[in-house]
Amino acid sequence: MLKEKAGETAGKIWNALDGTEGLTAKQIKKLTKLVDKDLFLGLGWLLREDKISTQEVEGDWFIKLI
């Protein structure tokens, strides 16, 4: 069940990032309406699959599709 949720959450994040130059974690949270733990679950999935890159900018994470 958790694996399914991680995949679905990763899809929401992917859709939010698609067509952008990247977004901050706060922007993704706002667009997807995800809580922190679900956001990080989906980001972890995408990182493991080498689908995103992350960078810390001014205390927030900036995420973009690879």
Which residue ranges make up each domain of the chain? 2-65
Closest-CA residue to 23 (of 11, 15, 48): 15
Say yes or no to pLDDT of 39 above 90: yes
Q: Which of 25-29, 51-55, 57-61 has the lowest mean pLDDT?
A: 57-61
Query: DSSP labels for 24-39?
Result: EHHHHHHHHT--HHHH
CATH class belonging to 2-65: mainly alpha
Share of the chain above pLDDT 70, in %: 100
pLDDT digits (tens, 9 = 90+) for 9-27: 999 999 999 999 999 999 9
Q: pLDDT at position 1, please?
A: 86
Q: Can you give the pTM of this predicted structure?
A: 0.93
Q: pLDDT at position 2, please?
A: 87
The sheet carrying 23-24 orders its strands as 23-24, 60-65, 52-57
CA distance 9 to 42: 5
Question: Which structure tokens are listed for 64?
Answer: 């973009």
Closest-CA residue to 47 (of 9, 2, 4, 21): 9
